[in-house]
Structure 1
């Protein structure tokens, strides 16, 4: 555990959130220009969407491995290096002439993200009092949710005005700027002991951990079945103001993440998760009905987008809080494993979304609603 209280270094907390904003922008920005990217690379939208799947899979696998390999590195050096890798990978993605090269650079970007995000979360969670832990996690995750509010809509606008390659170039520049900020402002924080991966993963035998991680996968799969293909998904419900709708999703995501941190500290994780999954199932179900009935109600879709974003990103603070409460001494690893589970869920959701996109948009939303209902059932099941 680190011993430099983050509450005595307010600027450090802000920098951690700015770093997750850069990572989140990279992870989510593709959804804003997926059709343009697919056309440029001469592939289908479903095929281009698999770049998100590959990113998610590389993150999920790489996160615990990198946590082991980089355990002894000073935290500032690790975070700066991860952001530099992320920036260089986005330069490669912006210049990619074909889908295979794009996918290779997305794998590299995922490794940079996997090295950054869990360590940023672990630093925040380890250095505050237990009763404030969920709120600290919400601040760090807030960078990701703000990225959904700003990164995806701005990516959509940048792709329309500058092209999708320039949009990825802007993400690369953002990563470099934040890396410089982390280096300048973050305090010197030591690394931890070198623990073999096999020993680290022993925590997976903990009953509470076994209950939490599969729920993270299921919940994020529900959230991302349609979101990875948000442009065609929104066109399927008669919406033309795609950028505005993506911004409303992001606004809901920011509100849901921040409110869930406070609510978890006050009322408990299971209650917050249950409310979130009920909202997600209802939102996806109504969108499925709108798509199937070919009814266009833009105002209603806007309201649903806020609920979709809030229910998607209210999951992470309570889930991380449950994990860290189960094994406080393994906070860094548990945040890393939960990040892996998040991206495994994103990858699963993207695969399911690509499959259902070839049928009907209503099937895509309907699949997401069923997954959200399954997550609710898992949440409400009483532990033995």
Structure 2
């Protein structure tokens, strides 16, 4: 770079306007909120759905498993085209499919149709989420990647606080179909905004890489192993927390919504710890966040079933999970910026294989040994995540 270009870049970086978070980031945040509302809403209302359709709760939760399987397959085989086709264009296509799938979910006459519709929603999410995360990293101001990704991740907070929590109350007052109807309206609104926002893509001229090609990038494999253990633990515990509260503790469905609300508040509160994240080295920050998650699961395994204790742990759970997820995405997207779409596709594939494996794999243990055993297994998985994250090569923050 010439001296003139260096001086221009220095002036740009020192300009406060160049450091502002782009408005597009908040649109991406809303898109995450819609996807999150669908992916997390079934657990709190599962007992109501099971009673309505005349099936068991594990059968209903196979809808979440189908969503995870569809997301994983889509992320693996379709998300690799994001860099070539354009993240925003792919996002619009994905939301068109998501909107249709949610409409079918709301009208499902039998459990099989609900499961099939959630499989379609998963295919949409498997393209949408990598496109969102790749776009967030690409449009982030220099030096503010963690902050930008953190804002986008608050979409999960919105889905938990304004989506899932209210949905549990709707299921109590009205019907579980009203829940999916509400999420359908959110998805339709988001699709309309995406169509008319006019955001242009910067596409790559290189052909799409093979589905697993990004695994050759140094650092990807151990971080994906950490992601898999981290997410399997979360979805395995989350899938049956609602039934534990309703069937074991005898609480109403709306109580599940309050737990989800508190979890969402904890998840959002982690945004205030952005300055703390910067003081910890990249190699130690992620294992430390995973250690905090492991401690929460350990306390869950030891708690005596009181609702107050579960609420307190839900807040800490959300706080620790946000830190872990944020640091994981920042480290992954920093490995090779030119292949963010492919890397995030693998990340989403692993994440939603965990959505598939968590409810199914933990279901037998929950039925035979109870909720405490689930939390104990989650601790073991988090130990794996800690070791994998520590073993991964650290990448410097931009």
The answer, yes or no, to whether TM exceeds 0.5 is yes
1:92-150: CA deviation from partner (whole Å, max 9, x where unpaired): 11111222221111111111112212111111101234521122111222212321233
Q: How does 1:272-283 map to 2 (within 5 A)?
A: 272-283=285-296
Query: Structure 1 residues 127, 357: CA separation in 2 closer, same or farther (over 3 Å shift)?
Result: same
Q: 1:252–1:306: 8 Å Cα contact kept in structure 2?
A: yes
Q: 1:76–1:186: 8 Å Cα contact kept in structure 2?
A: no
Unaligned runs of 5+ residues in structure 2 are: 1-16
C-alpha displacement at 1:193, in angstroms? 3.0
Q: 1:46–1:357: 8 Å Cα contact kept in structure 2?
A: no
Task: Tell me, yes or no, if structure 1 residue 152 matches structure 2 residue 161.
Answer: no
Q: 2:88–2:131: 8 Å Cα contact kept in structure 1?
A: no
Q: 2:226–2:384: 8 Å Cα contact kept in structure 1?
A: no
Query: Structure 1 residues 76, 277: CA separation in 2 closer, same or farther (over 3 Å shift)?
Result: closer
Q: How does 1:129-168 map to 2 (within 5 A)?
A: 129-168=141-180
Q: 2:165–2:257: 8 Å Cα contact kept in structure 1?
A: yes
Match of residue 252 from structure 1? 266
CA distance in 2, matches of 1:7, 1:189: 21
Unaligned runs of 5+ residues in structure 1 are: none
Task: Tell me, yes or no, if structure 1 residue 364 matches structure 2 residue 374.
Answer: yes
Instruction: Point out the more displaced range, 335-344 or 182-191.
Output: 182-191
Query: Structure 1 residues 231, 189: CA separation in 2 closer, same or farther (over 3 Å shift)?
Result: same
Q: 2:76–2:349: 8 Å Cα contact kept in structure 1?
A: yes
CA distance in 2, matches of 1:46, 1:65: 28
C-alpha displacement at 1:249, in angstroms? 0.9
CA distance in 1, matches of 2:260, 2:333: 32
C-alpha displacement at 1:286, in angstroms? 2.0
Query: How many matched pairs?
Result: 374
Query: Structure 1 residues 194, 186: CA separation in 2 closer, same or farther (over 3 Å shift)?
Result: same
RMSD (Å) for aligned C-alpha atoms: 2.4
1:81-100: CA deviation from partner (whole Å, max 9, x where unpaired): 21121111001111112222
TM-score (norm: length of structure 2) = 0.86
Q: 2:223–2:388: 8 Å Cα contact kept in structure 1?
A: no
Q: Which has the larger radius of gyration?
A: 2
CA distance in 2, matches of 1:105, 1:179: 18
Runs of 4+ in 1 over 6 A off after TM superposition: 5-9
Query: Structure 1 residues 88, 278: CA separation in 2 closer, same or farther (over 3 Å shift)?
Result: same
C-alpha displacement at 1:234, in angstroms? 3.0
CA distance in 2, matches of 1:6, 1:12: 14
Match of residue 127 from structure 1? 139
CA distance in 2, matches of 1:8, 1:250: 26
1:50-98: CA deviation from partner (whole Å, max 9, x where unpaired): 1111111111111132223455434433322211211110011111122
CA distance in 1, matches of 2:103, 2:392: 48
Match of residue 271 from structure 1? 284
1:345-380: CA deviation from partner (whole Å, max 9, x where unpaired): 222222232122211122122211222233223334
Query: Structure 1 residues 261, 185: CA separation in 2 closer, same or farther (over 3 Å shift)?
Result: farther
C-alpha displacement at 1:161, in angstroms? 1.6
Match for 1:54 among 61, 66, 72?
66
Q: 1:225–1:367: 8 Å Cα contact kept in structure 2?
A: no
TM-score (norm: length of structure 1) = 0.89
Instruction: Point out the more displaced range, 66-75 or 89-98.
Output: 66-75
Query: Structure 1 residues 380, 120: CA separation in 2 closer, same or farther (over 3 Å shift)?
Result: closer
C-alpha displacement at 1:214, in angstroms? 0.8
CA distance in 1, matches of 2:291, 2:21: 38
Query: Structure 1 residues 98, 275: CA separation in 2 closer, same or farther (over 3 Å shift)?
Result: same
Match for 2:205 among 163, 184, 193?
193
Match for 2:360 among 351, 356, 359?
351
Match of residue 338 from structure 1? 347
